[in-house]
Structure 1
Amino acid sequence: MQKEKLVLIGNGMAGVRTLEELLKLAPERYEITVFGAEPHPNYNRIMLSPVLAGEKSISDIILNERDWYAEHGIALKTGDAVTRIDRIARKVVTNSGEEMAYDRLLIATGSNPFIIPVPGHDKSGVIGFRDIADVERMLEAAGRYKKAVVIGGGLLGLEAANGLQKNGMEVTVVHLMDSLMERQLDKPAADLLKASLETRGLKFLMQAQTAEITGDERVRGVKFADGSEIEADLVVMAVGIRPNMALAQDAGIHCDRGIVVSDTMQTYDPRIYAVGECVQHRNVCYGLVAPLFDQAKVAANHLANLGIARYEGSITSTKLKVTGIDLFSAGEFNEGEGDETLVLQDPGAGVYKKLVLRDNRVKGAVMYGDTLDGSWYFQLLREGTDISAFRNTILFGQHDLGDAGHGDQTRIASLGPEAEICGCNGVCKGEIVDSIVKQGLFTLEDVRAHTKASSSCGSCTGLVESILASTVGEGYSATPSKKPMCGCTEFSHDEVIAGIREYQLKDMDAVRDFFEWKQPDGCASCRPALNYYLLSSWPGEYQDDAQSRFINERAHGNIQKDGTYSVVPRMFGGLCTPADLRAIADACDKYKVPEMKVTGGQRIDMFGIHKEDLPAMWKDLSDAGLVSGHAYGKALRTVKTCAGKNWCRFGTQDSTGLGVKLEQMTWGSWMPHKFKLAVSGCPRNCAEATIKDFGIVCVDSGYELHVGGNGGIKVRVTDLLCKVETEADVLEYCAAFIQKYREEGRYLERTAPWVERVGLQYIKDAIFDEQQRKALAERFRYSQTFSQIDPWKERAEGNDSHEFRKIEICAA
């Protein structure tokens, strides 16, 4: 098939990101030509400030070297701007006179700096701050002159001022308003920022209106409307940008404040698409990088003729790229009628946090001095999470990061490059930062693909996102509220779950066909998730796909760093008999187990078992009545108990007996992630029930039920669900909560983030409604009729593979 011709006008970040996304979807569809007005290949424009400050070089910020274009068969024409679009003949004409025909045209001409049209604005030494050439001119001026004036106290102006000062210039920032960065900060945060910058030597003239740039051919000063004047050898205009739409206007393409595009990123000419700072979408023009990448993905989807993606706008966040200053803002941070404001302020420590709430949902956030939780607040804002359950602690930061999270006193900025961020894959901070900088990464998925960080259990996601935000500033493309399951589909976990149930999709092929999966067999990311969603949706009907499980689940043991496995038999509620211990000891002798350990979950772990010995070892243990503890599974792990009233003088209820009943009811249950229970016999809480996924604290009058806890480095204390009176109530409420989580939790999502994502009140509404609660509990009990049979015993006894797969569902 003859390739269509695609021409890209503009070699910037948005346009080239569109090509990158397109090459993933339809690498052979187009013959691609790129025209760039600048002489450079694609570079990271948002990192110009660190280049100006001397923290990076030009080569450090190149995103796609010329070899990349050649490797993908893309013709790159640099230093030759397109000057005319002939829509009738479907061709473009460049400044050099070259003509290029197109079948599809992509306009990504970006924006131009706004130069205030005051007298003298065209003098030598008056420049904008938009590209590499501007940076080179500023660096050249810094080497020859001493005094600089930056007009504009916004994000770009302050970054320019910081860079010029680091190059030895005396810098004065002139701003029309009474506070800096008024579009991103409220007054208290802006005052802290100004004070900090002043200690670094920057000077400020606030509420100053520029009237004239003075001098002969070259600038010598700036005169203001009140008649005052200051000296200047260099004037940098950083007062805003304007979409570069002149080329589109001349071609008769509909424009307003920018090139008007639809939700598919098409202009009014269906053969012409546009992305980036040059476009206007739903009356909004975006000047930050993250929304432009969202647009690029949608444009690529339609250029590839998939036709299913839509761009519906973006919520943006901002971070100042000035070393040593931590600042973050997002959403609508100026409260309006009906809004509430939460503020944490410590002027002495230079810390300020403000959250604007509406109906217990985050509407906007401003942070200065301590911005570690910025990505979490941004996620709460995007997803519209009800924060009422943790409103009283939200200003103190995120508390659901789980096993691989950061400690209470740790801050990303203070972590050294050797600090381990992802425990599952052994990835340190330095490796992540290096990949972000050298590979030009902007999204969590990019980091996962290059470093494996956050690609396993996902509990370090908050840390990785914070490193991304800290490293690339506003270029960070945060996890969207509608995040695709993986690169195989545009649909989210929630949409796939709903589709499976609504349209009766009962095997993986049916799901992939219905949702038009890009890869017919899926990938390592989506196959385990689809397998779980089908198991949980169709118990007894869907046949488990063992090849869509992680190696630990396929082998029924935890793989260790030397390639051997550990085996953990289940001990219900921590109880065991002499016969159990003899069976374990005999297995250890027979299979030459080099080490045994009593686990924190009240069980015995046997290490160093070879994979080929696992079936026989499990048969021996099964013959003795021992079954798997599922220490390897995304399933129920343990039910931790204390001695309870039968032995302990403080015990109020039979916690051990209740723990046994809970474990007998729930063991073998596949879950979105690992799941732990605990029963404490009194409020002294020896079983640590208040940091478990579901915890019970026994009191004289009954049982307190707690949900959504998490242990590890960063502890997330449970939320109190309710108090019940009988053991039967405990079992029913527990079954209902688990089933709600199993049906609605996303694969690899622990209960802690799930509870915070959907809101505790949402869960209470379901569990407290007697009809819903009993229905959930009944569905859980039904699913358990297909579990709780030891799979290794069945396999060892030679049952056919069909029956074994049915048994191995273990809790669909």
Structure 2
Amino acid sequence: MIPISRCSSNDHLVIIGNGMASHRLLEAVVKLPHRPKQITVIGAEASPAYNRILLSPLLADEMPPSALALRDMQWYAEQGITLHLNERVLKIGREKQCVVTSCRTLAYDRLVIATGSRPTLPEVPGIGLKGVYGFRTLQDADTLAELALRGGQCVVVGGGLLGLEAAEGLRKRGASVSVLQRSERLMNRQLDSMAAELLETTLAKRGLNILTHARISHFEDDGAGSLAAVVLEDGQRMPAQSVIVATGVTPNAELGHQAGLTTQRAIMVDDTLTTSDPLIHALGECCQFEQHTYGLVEPIWRQVDVLANTLCGDGSARYSEAPTATKLKISGVALYTFGPTEATPEHEVLHYRDPESGDYRRLLLRNGQLEGAVLYGDTHSGPWYFAQALAKTDLSACRQALLFGEADANALLFDNPPTPSSTLEAA
């Protein structure tokens, strides 16, 4: 990639997209001394940027829509930012350095593409029927809440983070909900079999109908273009008035591809978040760094720091991959996990379970260093475990106390042995 200089005060910075990544970039850029005076943001949704992470609690009626707002329109005006909402960019003209929207043509000196992603839809017959929905926007949350209030049968396709959060939100709104998980267990990318079993038991007791090893044959048409049922490959027919698809996301990379930027699964960027065009950058779920694409906010926040430095700083910041931790946003369910899901022969496995309290912990160590953890129930030591994993701390001195959490482990690390209240098991 070609080295570029930072923006000058005379440059026009145009940002396509007004989601969380775009907004966090704005928050960072306006604080820098070399920010461009002219900044234009184009958002396809009708409202200013909001906290998409809170869509699940919103759907569950645990908070009002106002709690999701990040900034109001006045903030953009006070920062000298022009915000165009409910407007889509149709194409990028690289030769003339302009973007063409549904309403106008804008010249840019530097361009950021932050168009996010959309739900990945399974390639099964009937996917286009009325009654099949995704769950990515405020409008989606409003639509699903209305569906739940009407009652009836809802089927959520996907037993990962978003699918389970959507299913619980629909249940709390009054819907009868089934969850279809293609693999053998819920959250199979984050949980081991025991934690997944505990989670399934908890959710089933709340009233969710969970089916694993569930492969969809087709969505059945009611004869008028609307959904009537979900039919599985084993022949099981599940009547449904609505289906919510939560099987992953697809990067919105079409603008970059149409503009001739290098793309694979998403828009390719280097470690400064610069695309194959030195005047164009990509950020968040629409970009790809090396083989990685994104669906969690933690790496995107690190991308924002790098891109803000690229645009308005000294250009020295570089993006690199780092481990991330996962928490489930379902009220009353405490779950914290990071690192490998499955143990290898090189791992030492420590695990603990208290059936009465519902607590479960499993730690994976290699050569005394923590590489992965699954915590269910009592998760208060999760961030400490994660910090030790990132720091590659040698935990050999406190191995026998690791499962009891931060306080006991730290005591041993500092030569003050604790009195364990239970026993741990190594496998």
TM-score (ref. length: structure 1):
0.49
Residue of structure 2 aligned with 1:306, choices 314, 317, 324 = 314
Shift in Å at residue 273 of structure 1? 1.0
Shift in Å at residue 359 of structure 1? 1.0
Q: Residue 75 of structure 1 aligns with which residue?
A: 82
Shift in Å at residue 83 of structure 1? 1.4
The answer to whether the 8 Å contact 2:351/2:361 transfers is yes
Q: Residue 338 of structure 2 aligns with which residue?
A: 330
Q: Residue 174 of structure 1 aligns with which residue?
A: 180
Q: Residue 71 of structure 2 aligns with which residue?
A: 64
Name stretches of at least 5 consecutive residues in structure 1 with no aligned partner: 403-690, 692-705, 710-716, 720-812
Cα deviations across residues 270-294 of structure 1 (Å, max 9, x unaligned)? Answer: 1111110111112111210111010
Taking the aligned partners of 1:85 and 1:38, their CA distance within structure 2 comes to 19
3-state SS of 2:285 partner: coil
Q: Residue 191 of structure 1 aligns with which residue?
A: 197
Cα deviations across residues 344-389 of structure 1 (Å, max 9, x unaligned)? Answer: 1123321110111111111111111111111011101111111111
3-state SS of 1:354 partner: strand
Taking the aligned partners of 1:83 and 1:329, their CA distance within structure 2 comes to 40
- Report whether the alignment pairs 1:38 with 2:70: no
Write the letter of the residue equivalent to 2:386: F
Write the letter of the residue equivalent to 1:31: Q
Extract structure 1 runs of 4+ deviating beyond 2 A: 26-30, 706-709
Residue of structure 2 aligned with 1:352, choices 360, 365, 370 = 360
Shift in Å at residue 314 of structure 1? 2.4
Q: Residue 260 of structure 1 aligns with which residue?
A: 268
- Report whether the alignment pairs 1:92 with 2:99: yes
The answer to whether the 8 Å contact 1:333/1:363 transfers is no
Q: Residue 739 of structure 1 aligns with which residue?
A: none
Shift in Å at residue 145 of structure 1? 3.5
Residue of structure 1 aligned with 2:392, choices 384, 387, 410 = 384
Taking the aligned partners of 1:227 and 1:142, their CA distance within structure 2 comes to 26
Q: Residue 234 of structure 1 aligns with which residue?
A: 242
3-state SS of 1:11 partner: coil
Q: Percent identity?
A: 44
Cα deviations across residues 482-540 of structure 1 (Å, max 9, x unaligned)? Answer: xxxxxxxxxxxxxxxxxxxxxxxxxxxxxxxxxxxxxxxxxxxxxxxxxxxxxxxxxxx
Change (3 A) 1:12 1:707: closer
Q: Residue 269 of structure 1 aligns with which residue?
A: 277
Change (3 A) 1:23 1:400: farther
Shift in Å at residue 95 of structure 1? 2.0
Change (3 A) 1:360 1:381: same
- Report whether the alignment pairs 1:113 with 2:112: no
Change (3 A) 1:13 1:2: closer
3-state SS of 1:161 partner: helix
Cα deviations across residues 85-108 of structure 1 (Å, max 9, x unaligned)? Answer: 111100101123x11111100111
Taking the aligned partners of 1:707 and 1:175, their CA distance within structure 2 comes to 42
Shift in Å at residue 401 of structure 1? 11
Residue of structure 1 aligned with 2:160, choices 133, 141, 154 = 154
Taking the aligned partners of 1:377 and 1:244, their CA distance within structure 2 comes to 35
Q: Residue 667 of structure 1 aligns with which residue?
A: none
Shift in Å at residue 718 of structure 1? 6.2
Taking the aligned partners of 2:359 and 2:109, their CA distance within structure 1 comes to 54
The answer to whether the 8 Å contact 2:401/2:408 transfers is no
Shift in Å at residue 322 of structure 1? 0.5
The answer to whether the 8 Å contact 1:265/1:274 transfers is yes
Shift in Å at residue 120 of structure 1? 1.2
Residue of structure 2 aligned with 1:393, choices 398, 401, 404 = 401
User: Max radius of gyration: which structure?
Assistant: 1
TM-score (ref. length: structure 2):
0.93
Taking the aligned partners of 1:371 and 1:175, their CA distance within structure 2 comes to 25
Q: Residue 16 of structure 2 aligns with which residue?
A: 9
Q: Residue 752 of structure 1 aligns with which residue?
A: none
Taking the aligned partners of 1:2 and 1:131, their CA distance within structure 2 comes to 34
Change (3 A) 1:2 1:360: closer
3-state SS of 1:138 partner: helix
The answer to whether the 8 Å contact 1:328/1:368 transfers is yes
3-state SS of 2:30 partner: helix
Q: Residue 370 of structure 2 aligns with which residue?
A: 362
Taking the aligned partners of 2:310 and 2:181, their CA distance within structure 1 comes to 43
3-state SS of 1:399 partner: helix
Higher strand content, 1 or 2: 2
Taking the aligned partners of 2:34 and 2:68, their CA distance within structure 1 comes to 26
Taking the aligned partners of 1:389 and 1:345, their CA distance within structure 2 comes to 23
3-state SS of 1:378 partner: helix
- Report whether the alignment pairs 1:47 with 2:54: yes
Write the letter of the residue equivalent to 1:46: I
The answer to whether the 8 Å contact 1:333/1:355 transfers is no
The answer to whether the 8 Å contact 2:25/2:308 transfers is yes
Taking the aligned partners of 2:368 and 2:31, their CA distance within structure 1 comes to 40
Cα deviations across residues 657-696 of structure 1 (Å, max 9, x unaligned)? Answer: xxxxxxxxxxxxxxxxxxxxxxxxxxxxxxxxxx8xxxxx
The answer to whether the 8 Å contact 2:402/2:408 transfers is no
3-state SS of 1:199 partner: helix
Q: Larger relative CO (CA 8 A, sep 6+): 1 or 2?
A: 2
The answer to whether the 8 Å contact 1:3/1:28 transfers is no
3-state SS of 2:295 partner: coil
Cα deviations across residues 240-266 of structure 1 (Å, max 9, x unaligned)? Answer: 111110110000010111111111111
Shift in Å at residue 10 of structure 1? 0.6
Name stretches of at least 5 consecutive residues in structure 2 with no aligned partner: 1-7, 419-427
Taking the aligned partners of 2:99 and 2:89, their CA distance within structure 1 comes to 7
- Report whether the alignment pairs 1:282 with 2:290: yes
3-state SS of 2:18 partner: coil
Alignment of 1:327-476 (within 5 A): 327-399=335-407
Cα deviations across residues 528-574 of structure 1 (Å, max 9, x unaligned)? Answer: xxxxxxxxxxxxxxxxxxxxxxxxxxxxxxxxxxxxxxxxxxxxxxx
Query: Root-mean-square deviation (CA), in Å?
Result: 1.7
Change (3 A) 1:400 1:299: farther
- Report whether the alignment pairs 1:124 with 2:130: yes
Shift in Å at residue 29 of structure 1? 2.6
The answer to whether the 8 Å contact 2:19/2:116 transfers is yes
